[in-house]
């Protein structure tokens, strides 16, 4: 089964020529990529968050295998769902699924279930693929969607993912997909977002989760970020850096109701 694009032509250009032209603009050519254990990347339409996503992806060495972890906005399927497809398609072509890694994870992680209902209409991981395809022509991916998890369950999942990746000889990058606060004014959004960013740059997943919950920050991918941070720490990461921050009002001029976007690198 090939998972067909759900948001090509809306979140990003629906044809290869237009998409390549957009990526030429969004992926800086003058950045020297560095290795990372994980990155946290926004997933809105390219017009809004593409420059933020492009900067962190351009700044990161993209290995052949990327594990993508994103929020389930649709609410369909299992709470922790890996795709059962053989490949995911974009206007740039098909990206194969890392089938052997999927088999290992399903065998060793009790929470994880194969369920494509969670992925069918979800945009949070799909919008990452064209960036990754441009940066790694031999790309293979493992998309995982998260819905309702407790903090403890998220930590356990992160530890379990790291335990599997420790058995893999090749480098694997973790990519957590998340936008930041939604639909408050720009000043309030920036204040809330930098509270969450401060916890992330301290590489403190518990502080991130607590900050988001206690301050009602509508960070849709807080669980993917927690999972990626925990897994990266288990894999030896010791630093998290903010690469770029922006919000939608800087694009459309409406600062009364914005969405924040942050890109971070963990190594």
38 contact partners, CB below 8 Å, separation of at least 6: 173, 174, 175, 176, 228, 229, 231, 232, 237, 265, 266
Domains with residue ranges and CATH for the chain: 2-266 (3.40.830.10)
Q: What is the CA radius of gyration of the chain?
A: 17
pLDDT value, residue 28:
96
Q: Which residue has the tokens 């960013």?
A: 197
Report the relative pairing of strands 65-71 and 172-177 from DSSP bridges.
Answer: parallel
Q: Which of 138, 137, 143, 108 is nearest to 6 (CA)?
A: 143
Token pair, residue 157, equals 């999942």
pTM of the model as a whole: 0.96
3-state SS track over 200-266: HHCCCHHHHHHHHHHCCCCCCCHHHHHHHHHHHHHCCCCCEEEEEEEECHHHHCCCCCEEEEEEEEE
pLDDT value, residue 49:
97
How would you write the pLDDT of the chain (267 residues) with one tens digit per residue?
A: 999 999 999 999 999 999 999 999 999 999 999 999 999 999 999 999 999 999 999 999 999 999 999 999 988 999 999 999 999 999 999 999 999 999 999 999 999 999 999 999 999 999 999 999 999 999 999 999 999 899 999 999 999 999 999 999 889 999 999 999 999 999 999 999 999 999 999 999 999 999 999 999 999 999 999 999 999 999 999 999 999 999 999 999 999 999 999 999 999
pLDDT value, residue 24:
97
Q: Which of 65, 41, 59 is nearest to 245 (CA)?
A: 41
pLDDT value, residue 211:
98
Q: Torsions phi, psi of 122, nearest 5?
A: -85, 135
pLDDT value, residue 74:
86
pLDDT value, residue 75:
87
Strand partners, 95: 88
């Amino acid at each position: 089964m090939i998972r067909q694009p759900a948001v090509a032509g809306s979140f990003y250009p629906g044809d290869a020529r237009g998409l390549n032209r957009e990526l030429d603009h969004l992926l800086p050519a003058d950045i020297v990529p560095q290795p990372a254990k994980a990155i946290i990347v926004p997933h809105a339409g390219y017009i809004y968050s593409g420059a933020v996503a492009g900067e962190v992806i351009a700044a990161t060495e993209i290995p052949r295998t990327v594990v993508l972890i994103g929020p389930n906005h649709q609410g369909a399927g299992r709470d922790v769902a890996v795709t059962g497809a053989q490949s995911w398609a974009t206007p740039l072509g098909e990206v194969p699924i890392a089938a052997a890694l999927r088999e290992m994870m399903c065998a060793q992680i009790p929470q994880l279930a194969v369920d494509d209902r969670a992925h069918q209409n979800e945009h949070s991981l799909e919008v990452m693929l064209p960036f990754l395809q441009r940066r790694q022509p031999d790309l293979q991916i493992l998309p995982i969607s998260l819905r309702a998890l407790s903090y403890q369950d998220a930590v356990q999942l992160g530890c379990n993912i790291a335990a599997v990746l420790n058995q893999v000889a090749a480098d694997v990058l973790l990519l957590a997909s998340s936008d930041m606060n939604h639909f408050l004014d720009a000043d309030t959004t920036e204040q809330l977002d930098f509270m969450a960013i401060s916890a992330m740059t301290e590489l403190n997943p518990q502080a991130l989760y607590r900050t988001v919950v206690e301050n009602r920050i509508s960070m849709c991918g807080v669980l993917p970020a927690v999972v990626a941070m925990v897994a990266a720490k288990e894999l030896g990461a010791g630093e998290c850096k903010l690469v770029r921050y922006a919000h939608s009002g800087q694009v459309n001029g409406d600062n009364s109701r914005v969405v924040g976007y942050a890109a971070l690198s963990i190594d």
